[in-house]
Amino acid sequence: MTAGSTRRTTAAHTRLAAVGAIAVAGALILTGCGDHTDKGGNGSSSGTSSSSAPLASKLPADIRKAGVIQVGSDIAYPPVEYMESGKAVGIDPDIADALGKQLGVKFEFQNGKFDNLIVGLQANRFQVIMSAMNDTKDRQNGINSDNGQKVGNGVDFVDYFTAGTSILVQKGNPKGIKSLDDLCGKVVALQKGTTSEGIAKTQNKKCTKDGKKAINLQTFDTDPEALLRLKQGASVADLNDFPVAAYNAKTSGGGKDFEVVGDQIEAGPYGIAVSKSNTQLRDALQAAMSAIIKNGDYTKILQKWNVTDGAVTESKINGGS
């Protein structure tokens, strides 16, 4: 990312939102969800169905016949994905559109809560997840990072971007926050189920080990809710993916609401999540991703959103750690 970048992983180290009160417009560096909370009207399509698409034959027959790939996404994480005029826009929808041209299908985005997306995928509510989701070993193996317990069969990832977590504070940094250590004993608001939550919980252990008070962690269903708490001064910081943090620092309140402090934390790959049982779809997506990297469409999309520093040179399967 142009200054760094990461977003969403389950509550583990390893995952971007503007909302009503926090403007959605323009874009900056991009750098990181299950149940459908919105059943229709809030989704949108990307891609163009075409029987002559170069990689259409790689898709499973049922998807090729339907001409659609259903995508689960928390569409409130600009510039990665957000709603504009009733349509999902952003980095992920643009990449989905390019993949659709290679595969001859449309990608239809369906809005849901980030921390429920994997559950929705495993319940066959959609076929893939594109939601600034970090590819992590815990997610691959179906492990709840909070307690190490098995919570499902896990998922496979087709990696397509690299990003890290950033600390977002009020403009002028009135509380003097410079690093995670400065958050001990203070109120921090963030989106639940994300990599950022996992980072904060790990930091809590360090806080108490160092004889300091733990972070007063407040979690919300969406990042916009956490951003509003920060804007109101009810928290000292929000942790989210660098591209999202940078985007909000640039756009919210005309650039007067927030700023990013400190270095990027635990950069890792974003991945398109696919059921482990759907290896044909996974491999088709990887082939399509490789094709748009090679033909330049991928680079054009990242240039459009000013996030070329997060580019990958090849699409790996389960490349996260």
Helical pair 279-295 and 297-304, crossing angle rounded to 10 deg: 80
pLDDT value, residue 39: 38
Whether residue 189 contacts residue 229, with contact meaning beta carbons closer than 8 Å, is answered with yes
Provide the 8-state DSSP code for 155.
Answer: E
| Residue 113, H or E segment | none
Domain 44-162+268-307 and domain 165-266 have a common topology: yes
Alpha-carbon distance of 27 to 205, in angstroms, equals 35
Whether residue 258 contacts residue 169, with contact meaning beta carbons closer than 8 Å, is answered with yes
pLDDT value, residue 6: 44
Burial class (CB in 10 A: 0-12, 13-18, 19+), 238: buried
pLDDT value, residue 35: 36
Whether residue 9 contacts residue 165, with contact meaning beta carbons closer than 8 Å, is answered with no
HSE of 116, CA atoms in CB hemisphere, 13 A:
17
The CATH label, of 3.30.1600.10, 3.40.190.10, 3.30.1330.10, 3.40.1410.10, for the domain at 44-162+268-307 is: 3.40.190.10
| Residue 109, H or E segment | strand 106-111
pLDDT value, residue 24: 36
Task: Specify which residues 286 forms β-bridges with.
Answer: none
pLDDT value, residue 27: 38
User: Which phi and psi angles does 8 have, rounded to 5°?
Assistant: -65, 125
pLDDT in tens, 203-244: 999 999 999 999 999 999 999 999 999 999 999 999 999 889
> Which residues in the chain come in under a pLDDT of 50?
1-6, 9-41, 49
Residue in 31, 91, 21, 35 with CA at minimum distance from that of residue 239: 31
Per-residue buried b or exposed e for 21-37, using 16+ beta carbons within 10 Å of the residue's own CB = ebbbeebbbbbbbbebe
Structure tokens at 287: 């082939």
Which sequence spans correspond to the domains of the chain? 44-162+268-307, 165-266
Whether residue 19 contacts residue 78, with contact meaning beta carbons closer than 8 Å, is answered with no
Top CATH class, 165-266: alpha beta
Continuous H helices in the chain: 61-66, 91-103, 117-122, 137-141, 195-209, 223-231, 242-251, 279-295, 297-304
pLDDT value, residue 306: 86
Provide the 8-state DSSP code for 133.
Answer: B
pLDDT value, residue 242: 87
Helical pair 297-304 and 91-103, crossing angle rounded to 10 deg: 160
pLDDT value, residue 14: 38
